[in-house]
Structure 1
Amino acid sequence: MSQSLEMKEGITSEFIKTVSKVEYKNCDEIENDLQKIVYMTRGLIHNNPDRPRILNRH
C-alpha cells in the first residue's frame, strides 16, 4: 500500500474518531485532535510529488 494511501486512511480514521467522541471531550481536547488532523493533512499535501508547485508567490 502506498504511503499516501496509508496517510489518507489515517487522516480519515482520526477524523471519524474525533467526531464520534465529540460529546465526551472538552473544547481543548477537540481542538488538539483537529489540529493534529490539520498537520497530518498538510504533511500529505506537501509530501505529494504530483502536487503542482508555485514557483513565485510574490
Structure 2
Amino acid sequence: MKNFCQGELSTPRLEQMHLTRDEDCELQWEGDLNTTIKHMFDEMNMQNSQAVEVTDQLLQME
C-alpha cells in the first residue's frame, strides 16, 4: 500500500479516527495518519483472507 500522503503531513489536532463497522464503534490511532490508514488496510485484508479461507473450506465440503 502506498502512503496516503507522500510529503510531510501535519494534523496537530487529530488524535484518533472514529470508525464504524456494522453496529460496532471503535477508536483507533497508530501514531500518525499514514500508519493508522495502513493498519486499517492490513486489518481489512486479513479479515477478507480469513473469509476466503472459510468459503474455500465450505466449497470443498460440498
Q: TM-score normalized by structure 1?
A: 0.44
More helix by share: 1
Q: TM-score normalized by structure 2?
A: 0.42
- Select the structure of larger CA radius of gyration: 2
Q: Which has the higher contact order (CA 8 A, sep 6+)?
A: 1
